[in-house]
Amino acid sequence: MVQPRPIRDLPDELISQIAAGEVVERPASVVRELIDNALDAGASHIVIRLMAGGVRLISVEDDGAGIAAEDLPRALRRHATSKIASLNDLEHVLTMGFRGEALAAVASIADVTLTSRTAGMTHGQRLEARSGEISPAARAPGTTMEVRELFYATPARRKFLKSDATELAHCMEAVRRHALARPHVAFTVWSEGRLLHQWRACTLEQRLRDMLGEEFVSGSREVDATIGPLRIQGRVGIPTLSRAKADLQYTYVNDRPVKDRLIAHGVRAAYDDVLHGNRQPAYVLFVSIAPERVDVNVHPAKVEVRFRDSREVHQALHRAVEAALATSMPPLLPPVLPPFLPPTAHLNAVEPPRSPTISPQRLSLTPDHPPPAAAPHQPMAARSVIPMSPMQQATLLYAREEPVAPLPVEKPTLGRALAQLAGLYILAENDHGLIVVDMHAAHERIVYERLKTAFQSGHAPLPSQPLLIPAGFAATPTEMACAETESETLQQLGLDIAAIGPGRLAVRASPAALSQADPVALARSVLRDLIAHESSQHIQRAHDELLAGMACHGAIRAHRHLTLPEMDALLRDMETTLRADQCNHGRPTWRQLSLKELDGLFMRGR
């Protein structure tokens, strides 16, 4: 039998050490907290010095407002802060720090020295955390925090740290996350007395280029949308910039770096149509929202937040990112040819919708036909490929019996078609050089977007199909509550789910377009999404997969020979189709070879 123990108050130092276990996971946690304080002080230049990956020394020096001499003794006390004074301040907090416990927690497990000076002081003051002694110090206006021998007071925690190189990498990531959100602030990082990185104050685009590379900037699209109470800005990488790991994903809420599953899910959902498999998108996104609509006081390290209306945030992010990816084609010139409606009916089996309602006959897909035999008078681009000698090829290349119109001075984005290569690619010329188009992938995207427009033209609930026998299944209390509270959302998705007894639900109707799907598995998946994210893309994804399969069967087949007008018409359609530079599986549909690149291949100008 367990004997009762007396309840006693814990010593202040032990309380701070327990708090340190929540706040200070590794040296990078201290770096993040000290940079937070420097930014709150209005610093324009922050210098970070590290030794042994931050274990031996972390020094953060800023040129901010500093700490007044009379406030210095309170700076390292538990729950002492200048950021908030009331509950109303906490609910409207916009500063990076606010609790007043981080410095006290760090001081309980390390040797901490604080040196600071305000603009009105004649000299700085130094505070030794261990002894509480304050002495004069030479210091320009600003603050320097030195943290030495991290975890010396809790040696067991030190055993859980990784190598110095690994800890240094985590510290650098903490600096990078802050520096991306504050391009107007200069950051300098020293390690073992050597300059490691230096980022000068600049524009956001230049900071992104300096920190993430030119490849990210050139391979990403700008996001700038105001949706409801949210302002969403930043850049999202195109699908071909995707990565195997989620190591290039930076999200900020009111300039606070966060790792939020709701935000990550909303952004990833926007890529469902263009990024398949386990590939991870790359992005830097800044979410601005009224402080009273987000709670930043839900995690000891302040890396997680909670939104008042999480569904609103999820949908806004989804829409903003999806719109940015949909307009990934470069700025377009006015089309000079009509939309892609070639004379061969089998070439474009699915026409663009002319009204919200489309008959089944309009959506039927004509089976693929073999290419017609090339007539002798057809241009070279439309002839069947036959073995020829180099001399014959050179002769036939210019043996055109029909005149070719001269190219305009300024060509459309994807240029004018020149020829077809191996029955797979279209070669075109624009103002920048040579365009190579994967014709099947490009036409597949065009057909797919037309199908989606046809089926999504209205905002009515998805058509549902009653089940002959309702499909019952055992449900958790959370699923039971979700089915009741989200019944209207489920109806919009074409699902009719009702309780049939204690702990049991039944699917009475499911989306007509997914009649072959297991209704119970579908219902469980949707309920799981609604519980976790208060929104579900499961049915939309399944619906889009059906349309993508239809589009694949309706698109131009490989080795089908096209005439030049047909090729030009396809290029013009690409220029007016959303997401036309990515196929339905995330692959690029076209590539640009500049004149400079072509000159390099042939060593021109050398």
* Digit-coded pLDDT (tens) for 76-109: 887 777 777 787 777 777 777 776 678 888 888 8
CA 551 to CA 70: how far, in whole Å? Answer: 72
What are 138's strand-pairing partners? none
Question: Which one is predicted more confidently, 399 or 551?
Answer: 551
Model pLDDT, residue 359 = 31
On the question of pLDDT at 534 being above 50, the answer is: yes
pTM over 0.85: no
CA angle (104, 110, 113) in 5-degree steps: 75
pLDDT, one tens digit per residue, over 211-247 is 998 889 988 889 999 998 899 999 998 888 888 888 8
Lowest mean pLDDT among 155-159, 210-214, 466-470, 507-511: 155-159
pLDDT, one tens digit per residue, over 109-150 is 889 999 999 998 999 999 998 888 899 999 999 999 999 988
Lowest mean pLDDT among 171-175, 369-373, 471-475, 565-569: 369-373
- State residue 59 phi and psi, 5-degree precision: -125, 125
CA 48 to CA 27: how far, in whole Å? Answer: 12
Q: Are strands 256-258 and 283-288 parallel, antiparallel or unpaired?
A: unpaired
What are 257's strand-pairing partners? 252
| Segment 193-200 mean pLDDT | 93
Query: How many CA atoms does the CB half-sphere of 81 hold within 13 Å?
Result: 20
Contact 576, 330 (CB under 8 A): no
Which range is most confident: 167-181, 332-346, 435-449, 452-466?
A: 167-181
Model pLDDT, residue 325 = 84
Cβ-count burial 248-261 (b if 16+ within 10 Å, e if not): bbbbbbbebbbbbe
Which residues 6+ apart lie within 8 Å of 390 measured at CB?
A: none
pLDDT band at 364 (very low <50, low <70, confident <90, very high): very low
Model pLDDT, residue 24 = 80
Contact 560, 325 (CB under 8 A): no
On the question of pLDDT at 189 being above 90, the answer is: yes
Q: Is 67 exposed, middle or buried (0-12, 13-18, 19+ CB in 10 A)?
A: buried
Give the closest residue to 446 by CA, choosing from 271, 565, 572. 572
Model pLDDT, residue 375 = 40
Contact 471, 506 (CB under 8 A): yes
Compute the mean pLDDT over every residue in the chain, rounded to the nearest whole number.
77
On the question of pLDDT at 175 being above 90, the answer is: yes
Question: Which one is predicted more confidently, 458 or 215?
Answer: 215
Radius of gyration of the chain (CA): 31
Residues of the chain above pLDDT 70, percent? 77
Residue in the structure block whose two tokens are 């590794």: 26
Question: Which one is predicted more confidently, 168 or 219?
Answer: 168
pLDDT, one tens digit per residue, over 414-441 is 888 888 888 888 898 888 888 899 888 8
CA 492 to CA 495: how far, in whole Å? Answer: 7
Model pLDDT, residue 362 = 30
On the question of pLDDT at 354 being above 70, the answer is: no
- Both tokens of residue 136? 């004069």
- Both tokens of residue 257? 């770096």
| Segment 440-455 mean pLDDT | 76
On the question of pLDDT at 384 being above 90, the answer is: no
What are 256's strand-pairing partners? 253
Which range is most confident: 19-28, 255-264, 385-394?
A: 255-264
